[in-house]
Amino acid sequence: MALSNETIQNKLIEKFGDQVLNFSTASGILSFESSKEINLKVLQFLYEEPSLAFTFLTDLCGVNYPDNVGAELVVVYHLHNFSENIRLRYSVSTSINETAVFTASKLFESANWMERETYDFFGINFIGHPNLKRILNVDEMDYFPLRKEYPLEDQTRIDKDDEMFGRG
Amino acid sequence: MMKCLEEGSLIKRVNYNSTGAIKNSMEHQSHITLPKGSIEKTTTTLNIGPTHPATHGVFQNIMEVDGERVVSTEQTVGYIHRAFEKLAERRPLYQITPITDRLNYCSSPINNMGWHITCERFLKLDLPKRVDYLRVIIMELARISDHLICNSIVGVDTGAYTGFLYVMQYRELIYEIYEEVCGSRLTTNIGRIGGFERNFTNTAFTKLEKFLNEYPKVLKEFESLFARNRIFMERTKGTGGISAERALNYGFTGPNLRAAGVDYDVRVQQPYSSYQDFDFKVPVGTTGDNYDRFLVRNAEMYESISIIKQAYQKIQEFKGTDAEVYHADVPEYYLPKKEDVYTKMEALIWHFKIIMGEIELPKGQIYSAVEGGNGELGFYLVSDGGRTPFRLHFRRPCFIYYQAFEELIKGGMLSDAVVTMSSLNLIAGELDA
């Protein structure tokens, strides 16, 4: 029996009730969110529940939404079930002032460096991570470059404002 | 970092038994008694990289070695980090293609196509079959050149330079095809959103035919140089191995995962660019060691040749105007012909809008992946309706599986670690993004 997005959604709701929310499907991939406190429980349930078996962590990355006050930083997990060939996107959000998210590196070895990368660029503090330090940037760096508050362009230039990029 | 020894400190003397497997890395050197308060350790710290012939790229391994055994290692990456994800946030889609060239630069066209396919899926554009087939040819050529480099470098690191020099001539034929199609060789920027920038010329097809005629024979020779070579087998068999479970847990994809026995291939699981129209096998190994990785890559090259032949045949079946199609009809994203820009109002407007990056993207997000030379190359694109991506994340297979390196080489010989490094096909550009 092929695993469908509806089945996954129902199973998650059955297990976690209204703690999992904002289900949507874009380009065939089911996305949902939960509070950051239960991220490990959700990941573990997806991993260990035999009918779901999302045992492969494809990707883990951060996104910064500066306008979502209290949920500025988002950690996005892309999971994959190889035998059913179905992908899943799961995200948890955290405030930029209190960026603590539980690490998934105990469940997936692959999360180790991906979380380090996310920490490096967004400053998300993964609680319980074995070696949370910068990976691509220099250790001396004192900011988290992919946050939107750090502009790419030279701020003294006036010819390249956000209006040029459709975000006036 | 290399620890400086105090002047006059004891020089280590380790009587190393090269054949016996060691149970405990410290056990056999209990004869070493360091003076009290000595700053010396019983192991040596050795730096391989950032610039070292064995790394074939800019990354570092800080290894603790006990004699020639690797006790532990720490991998350091980031020496050529170029902030691609940040750069992409201020570029319209078509300007991101040249960035993707510089990820895995041994197979840039796959990265380019992967990006175009991501954009096309996101923008819901349909492509003509001929474009898909042309793309398949280019992508499989890129896969061959990628695997060819990797396998011949494994040869170099085990002491056989001949294979490497020999196959370079045939990689050159592939690069000439790229050159004929897009004008450049290494960082190709090949294709556009919606198709190719120009149709393949007859010269391109002639060069492709030449390659298809000459290469299989060479690959056979290359294979016979290594596959049953006693020295090569003893250097690669049983070294750098990983089980399927561990490989999956470490996020392995591509040939490295298939060598461990998992038949996951994005081309089969989530076909893109009409891969479902082709008939090919997915070679798998069993032990996930260096030898299996070599064999899997070699077998994949044969499959790639077969895919290219099928695609070329399908292309020849197009007749009339269909045989001239090389891009989809998507004026919002595909640059109009130059003569139209000079003579037609609408073409001029689109030209201006595209060049100035004035096309608004729809809101939403997409994760799309292609089978890169090293594994699943994914693009996670988040758009807020602006003209550039709000966030773009590259899932770089190299970066993800390189963290398993310590587990692969721990307890083994230093020289095996070097072979494992090249057999994993670590490309610095893809490690760092």
Tens of pLDDT along chain A (168 residues) come to 578 999 999 999 999 999 999 999 988 899 999 999 999 999 999 999 999 999 999 999 999 999 999 999 999 999 999 999 999 999 999 999 999 999 999 999 999 999 999 999 999 999 999 999 999 999 999 999 999 988 876 667 666 666 766 665
**Does the CB of B268 have a partner CB in chain A at under 8 Å?**
no
Containing domain of residue A142, as a range?
A: 5-146
Give me the mean pLDDT over the B141-157 stretch: 94
pLDDT digits (tens, 9 = 90+) for B171-199: 999 999 999 999 999 999 999 999 999 99
**Does the CB of A44 have a partner CB in chain B at under 8 Å?**
no
- The answer to the question of residue B85 being in a domain is no
Q: CATH number, domain at B327?
A: 1.10.645.10
**Does the CB of B120 have a partner CB in chain A at under 8 Å?**
no
- The answer to the question of residue B17 being in a domain is no
Q: What is the pLDDT at residue B37?
A: 74
* Amino acid residing at B261: G
pLDDT digits (tens, 9 = 90+) for B240-254: 999 999 999 999 999
**Does the CB of A71 have a partner CB in chain B at under 8 Å?**
no
Q: CATH number, domain at A28?
A: 3.30.460.80
Q: What is the pLDDT at residue B12?
A: 42
Query: Residue B352: is its pLDDT beyond 80?
Result: yes
- The answer to the question of residue A166 being in a domain is no
- The answer to the question of residue A162 being in a domain is no
DSSP B371: E
Position of tokens 């469940």? Answer: A107
**Joined tokens for residue B50:** 């950032």
* Amino acid residing at B426: L
Scanning B28-87 for CB atoms below 8 A from A yields: 77-78, 81, 83, 85-87
- Nearest C-alpha neighbor of B379 from the set B101, B107, B116: B116
Query: Residue B403: is its pLDDT beyond 90?
Result: yes
Q: What is the pLDDT at residue A168?
A: 56
Which residues, in sequence order, are CB contacts of B282 under 8 Å at separation 6+? B258, B263, B265, B268, B303
How many interface pairs between A and B have CB atoms less than 8 angstroms apart? Answer: 106
- The answer to the question of residue A151 being in a domain is no
- The answer to the question of residue A26 being in a domain is yes
ipTM of the prediction: 0.92
Q: What is the pLDDT at residue B302?
A: 96
Give me the mean pLDDT over the B130-143 stretch: 96
Give me the mean pLDDT over the B236-241 stretch: 92
Measure the N-to-C terminal CA separation of chain B; round to a whole number of Å.
25
**Total structural domains within chain A:** 1
- The answer to the question of residue A168 being in a domain is no
Partner-chain residue, chosen from A57, A63, A136, that has the shortest CB–CB distance to B81: A136
- The answer to the question of residue A160 being in a domain is no
- The answer to the question of residue B147 being in a domain is yes
Residues of A in contact with B86 (CB under 8 A): 145-146, 152
More confident residue, B22 or B177: B177
**Total structural domains within chain B:** 1
Tell me, letter by letter, the H, E, C secondary structure of B175-221.
Answer: HHHHHHHHCCCCCCCCCECCECCCCCCHHHHHHHHHHHHHHHHHHHH
- The answer to the question of residue B394 being in a domain is yes
pLDDT averaged over chain B?
Answer: 89
Q: Decide if B306 contacts B137 (C-beta within 8 A).
A: no
DSSP B97: H
What share of chain B has pLDDT > 70, as a percent? Answer: 92
- Nearest C-alpha neighbor of A16 from the set A40, A41, A52, A49: A41
Kindly report which listed range (B18-32, B206-220, B328-342) carries the lowest average pLDDT score.
B18-32
Residues of B in contact with A167 (CB under 8 A): 384, 386
Give me the mean pLDDT over the B200-228 stretch: 95
Q: How far apart are the C-alpha atoms of B149 and B146, rounded to whole Å?
A: 5
- Nearest C-alpha neighbor of A51 from the set A100, A86, A21: A86
Which residues, in sequence order, are CB contacts of A87 under 8 Å at separation 6+? A28, A29, A58, A78, A79, A80, A81, B367
Containing domain of residue B300, as a range?
A: 92-432
Scanning B360-399 for CB atoms below 8 A from A yields: 360, 364-369, 376, 378, 380, 382, 384-388, 390-391, 393, 395, 399
- Chain B residue with Cα closest to A131: B74
More confident residue, B235 or B22: B235
pLDDT digits (tens, 9 = 90+) for B26-84: 444 555 566 777 777 778 899 998 888 888 888 999 999 988 899 999 999 999 999 99
- The answer to the question of residue A159 being in a domain is no
What is the pTM assigned to this prediction? 0.90
Q: What is the pLDDT at residue B43?
A: 85
Q: What is the pLDDT at residue B406?
A: 93
Q: How far apart are the C-alpha atoms of B347 and B269, rounded to whole Å?
A: 39
**Cβ–Cβ of A61/B380 closer than 8 Å?**
yes
Q: How far apart are the C-alpha atoms of B414 and B412, rounded to whole Å?
A: 7
**Does the CB of B353 have a partner CB in chain A at under 8 Å?**
no
**Does the CB of B129 have a partner CB in chain A at under 8 Å?**
no
